[in-house]
Amino acid sequence: MIQIERISKRFKKLQVLDNINVLFEKGQVVSLIGPNGSGKTTLIKSILGLVKPDSGTILVNNILAGKSPDYRSQIGYMPQIGRYPDNMKVGHLFSMLENLRAEKKHSLDKDLIQSFKLEDIYQKPMRTLSGGTRQKVSAAVAFMFSPDILILDEPTAGLDPLSSEILKEKIRKEKTKEKLILITSHILSDLDELTTHVTYLQEGKLLFMKDIATLQEDTGEIKLGKAIARVMRGEHTDGSWIDKIFNTSSNEEKR
């Protein structure tokens, strides 16, 4: 669904993305993981056409990203921090989006609007909302038009435990529909039950893309957080699994 070939991006002297090659396919829930400044957000914004790479190509369902904005109708995006007009009321935001996407009205997904009880605050201006409530609005917008691809950037940040569970249950539900879901999160415990594949970035380089079972086998850890902590610390039990992990990336570059 998303094919990324030799993507590089530099901001002045900082190499943010360095020759990224990866394929994301339908039915995958991909956890996009890496330290702060590893290039995760830049990669997401490149897919969305919000950042123009210096080189390389991104195809979304065989459509060249950034060439025309039309492909973005296939993507539901939840940003880490949602920014909306201060004076716009919550209800007006949803009705405006419905009017802009009139052709999708027959397939509107209002599960999260109802689960988060957002109808109760339709008359509130966006400027009056707490950070957590803005997150709920952003989540509802991302899922609203039943997109085939979902990109969720730190989706549970700022949510209370109940709201977080509601959102994770919604992600699990969409997972059964063979959609492609990309998630970034520093709360790795939230990803344990959701993840099918892990993409690990560090200093702009893609170090590996592996299914979760292989990563667990290579690291000897069941929990995703512990497995990634071992990768970040460079720990190993038999002296070989680090090479096994990183060889995947280097072999892909050779191809």
The Cα–Cα gap between 170 and 187 comes to 17
DSSP one-letter code for 52: -
- For residue 241, is pLDDT > 80? no
DSSP sequence for 232-251 = HHT--SSS-HHHHHHHHHHH
Average pLDDT over residues 16-40: 94
Label residue 22 by pLDDT band (50, 70, 90). Answer: very high
What single letter denotes the amino acid at residue 28?
Answer: Q
DSSP sequence for 37-51 = TSSHHHHHHHHHTSS
Higher pLDDT, 105 or 53: 53
Pairing of strands 29-33, 197-202: parallel
Label residue 231 by pLDDT band (50, 70, 90). Answer: confident
Label residue 105 by pLDDT band (50, 70, 90). Answer: low
Label residue 250 by pLDDT band (50, 70, 90). Answer: very low
CA angle (165, 168, 171) in 5-degree steps: 155
The Cα–Cα gap between 128 and 87 comes to 9
Per-residue CA distances from 119 to 127, 174, 223 (Å): 17, 22, 37
Residue with tokens 């063979």: 178
Over its C-alpha atoms, the chain yields an Rg (Å, rounded) of: 19
Which residues lie below 8 Å from residue 99, measured CB to CB, with a gap of 6+? none
The pLDDT value recorded for residue 249 is 44
Q: Which of 132, 137, 144, 135 is nearest to 108 (CA)?
A: 144
The pLDDT value recorded for residue 9 is 97
DSSP-derived 3-state class of residue 7? strand
The Cα–Cα gap between 130 and 234 comes to 39
pTM above threshold 0.75: yes
Label residue 242 by pLDDT band (50, 70, 90). Answer: low
The Cα–Cα gap between 172 and 188 comes to 16
Q: Where exactly are the structural domains of the chain?
A: 2-254
Of 133-137, 211-215, 236-240, which gets the smallest average pLDDT?
236-240
> In CATH, which superfamily holds the domain spanning 2-254?
P-loop containing nucleotide triphosphate hydrolases (3.40.50.300)
